[in-house]
Structure 1
């Protein structure tokens, strides 16, 4: 199952941010409709892989059986930019219910008013969101008190590892702390002179899913203070993170040698990817990768575990980075009550959430679904369920600039790992100033 929601999308995020910045006055819809009256709803989503589209279509069919008065027209493979243009224009062709793979943009959806506030619908239906959804998932579906989205399945990140390589190196279990991580990575690294033939773990941020924010989540950082000001320079964990990543890199030959190896890998979704070809002994990835490995049948035994944590936070082991799909109601919809019935079914109905999660091999997004005995019993998948339930697992905080602050953090991190950032403290202070300036501009 290709994971479209999980790739790094800097250009797309910026483009979406520019689109949303001009959307302060979205078309106005209404919640005066009768949800029991005959109606046709338009549901736009981003799924495009045949199995995923089949799964979402089956979900809609189940909903229509329960609500025979509501017909749902679905449109798939829709980008955030297309959705936002349609919502800005409004009209009869605009969607009523929308979903997005980009949790980073929730701050803009809520702040711009283009996605309707869901709290009145939740209250009217007697849905206690704090009892239904894990707190981390709720955090990335609201912004400054506005709940404009709900979680629609989630993704958790963990550590895939080559069991055969571990056995050959005499390592009996996956590393749990960053010190163990560096030690094991060094043992697993294979060299031919100065050339790295296999990395224990590739820390370079441009590798596949290795976005620095995903790795940084293991430290549990705070990106913003209570006033919304960037605080990466004053956050001591930021420096710890960069120091640890450098130690991990140096233990395996250094950034340049690892970068040469990275550039020899095939596409992330191909059989020539670094982990599939045995050129990576450990690899950061999401829950969908297990299903792909089962289908591709690599010539080594593999396992999955949580990513290691800092040594002084050993009690948080089991945590990971979380993200996922979010869904909401278009503010421009004139059928918001009927739209709420669809959204409520997709996001809160336990049987539906479990069935959908099993079908596309994603993590369920409600507390009840996460503990359902009907979930896929595959041990690798269960590891990600535990990561999702871990109270220390972290998602990125929403911002009115969407993913602009994430892109800025990524760009700075690329410079740091390549040794081009200069004075780290000065660079971080400048990064904070840039993020704050972008936030101020977005709010004005």
Structure 2
């Protein structure tokens, strides 16, 4: 079933069941007194919709049920965060026990609202030492203000995909490692037709292009979005202006914002066979580890490789870093079977064999220290680039916030204006950006 129809179908079904009820701002209270050894049926909601990913989830659940024959898991996929949040507020017998989300940006909201249960007591009861199991950055994006309400369920790392044939044609020996190298390579790789329009750009730097959300590229500078008091500090951080200056220089070097936007309008859908990298309209682009599997499945007609994204010239020693994010899993606070639910969460997130098999199946980065070192992982070097990025000590994830990912949306909208030349005074604009982020955070606390 196509993704939009599946989402509509699910929303209608839930509404019919009386689950999409607005109102109650506080989560229903569940129970952590259940006996996980007794027969029970759990409800597990997730967001995957691709056939291969859905099968990987089904296979994972089958392995779990084989280990726990007393627990039956009913799975519903292709569920949005909005739907999950509505249902958890409403409660009811059909609400999920185990939930997952692709949006790490929202972890601060999950934890501060109390809708996702604190997992630390369950880890203590079952002897899971989270600092030994999970990489530090992964723990940071699954917790908020000391509350571990989620655990990583595989991870995503962003790196550089590049067209090896185009590189050879342009006489470029290796992928760029610094931002100045990236700019020079982009110019060399750009090709125009006889009338001056683009045939191919070296890289599409515009923020509306596919995975080019500004926070992902900004990760190469290692920014600090907030101070210790939780106040936005983008305006006072010189890295912010460096980031925008670098992105605008990439735009100017390849013909300007308007020309690039016109060319971008000719690109096909990101997840289709008309993806701009696959059709060789861009020679380099930033993307996640999953893209490699798609390029193989779609039989790309050119040689391609992967590398870490370039870093600022004055931070060349941090090369290898990247933006990290991923899927998270947790227990609904309203679940009356929280100990049994923990057994499923623990299996999906902690069990090394399960994490490795799931990572290989959907071509995502494993999210435990042991799984990252497993010899059973896919040995393809284009995939292992992303494992190295995930292990790099300079790699970062965006910090959680009480209002979820709203501050990233605010940054993105501001970045759209900057690249389009609508922010004549960047310093003033950044001060306004900080003020807006702080106002949004304050409003969400009231």
Q: 1:201·1:282 contact (CA, 8 Å) conserved in 2?
A: yes
* Partner-residue secondary structure (3-state), 1:152: strand
Q: 1:212·1:413 contact (CA, 8 Å) conserved in 2?
A: yes
Unaligned residue ranges in structure 1 (runs of 5+): 5-18
Shift of 1:23: 5.9
Q: 2:49·2:78 contact (CA, 8 Å) conserved in 1?
A: yes
Separation of aligned partners in 1, 2:297 and 2:341:
37
* Partner-residue secondary structure (3-state), 2:66: helix
1:365-401 C-alpha deviation (Å, 9 max, x unpaired): 1010011000111111111111111111111111111
Partner of 2:43: 42
- Which of these residues, 334, 342, 345, is aligned with residue 343 of structure 1? 345
- Which of these residues, 431, 436, 439, is aligned with residue 437 of structure 1? 439
Shift of 1:267: 1.1
1:234-266 C-alpha deviation (Å, 9 max, x unpaired): 111000000111111111111111111111111
Change in 2 beyond 3 A, CA 1:355/1:368: same
Shift of 1:3: 12
Shift of 1:298: 2.1
Change in 2 beyond 3 A, CA 1:34/1:406: same
Name the stretch that deviates more: 336-345 or 261-270.
261-270
Q: 2:151·2:349 contact (CA, 8 Å) conserved in 1?
A: yes
Separation of aligned partners in 2, 1:257 and 1:25:
49
Separation of aligned partners in 1, 2:341 and 2:430:
44
Q: 1:186·1:251 contact (CA, 8 Å) conserved in 2?
A: yes
Partner of 1:382: 384
Change in 2 beyond 3 A, CA 1:325/1:207: same
TM-score by length of 2: 0.94
Partner of 2:95: 94
Counterpart mapping for 1:91-240 below 5 A: 91-192=92-193, 194-240=196-242
Partner of 1:82: 83
Counterpart mapping for 1:52-91 below 5 A: 52-91=53-92
Q: 2:21·2:90 contact (CA, 8 Å) conserved in 1?
A: no
Partner of 1:393: 395
Change in 2 beyond 3 A, CA 1:22/1:373: farther
Counterpart mapping for 1:212-361 below 5 A: 212-361=214-363
Q: 1:151·1:347 contact (CA, 8 Å) conserved in 2?
A: yes
Q: 1:222·1:231 contact (CA, 8 Å) conserved in 2?
A: yes
Q: 1:152·1:347 contact (CA, 8 Å) conserved in 2?
A: yes
Shift of 1:195: 2.5
Runs of 4+ in 1 over 4 A off after TM superposition: 19-24
Q: 1:174·1:305 contact (CA, 8 Å) conserved in 2?
A: yes
* Partner-residue secondary structure (3-state), 1:187: helix
- Number of residue pairs matched by the alignment: 429
* Partner-residue secondary structure (3-state), 1:363: coil
Q: 2:3·2:49 contact (CA, 8 Å) conserved in 1?
A: no
Separation of aligned partners in 2, 1:418 and 1:20:
41
Shift of 1:137: 1.0
* Partner-residue secondary structure (3-state), 1:99: strand
Q: 1:185·1:252 contact (CA, 8 Å) conserved in 2?
A: yes
1:331-356 C-alpha deviation (Å, 9 max, x unpaired): 00111111111100100000000000
Name the stretch that deviates more: 268-277 or 417-426.
268-277
Change in 2 beyond 3 A, CA 1:105/1:21: farther
Separation of aligned partners in 2, 1:47 and 1:259:
31
Separation of aligned partners in 1, 2:21 and 2:238:
33
Separation of aligned partners in 1, 2:203 and 2:166:
12
Shift of 1:91: 1.7
Partner of 1:10: none
Unaligned residue ranges in structure 2 (runs of 5+): 5-19
Shift of 1:197: 2.4
Change in 2 beyond 3 A, CA 1:390/1:439: same
Separation of aligned partners in 2, 1:134 and 1:230:
26
* Partner-residue secondary structure (3-state), 2:201: strand
TM-score by length of 1: 0.94
Separation of aligned partners in 1, 2:139 and 2:40:
30
Change in 2 beyond 3 A, CA 1:73/1:269: same
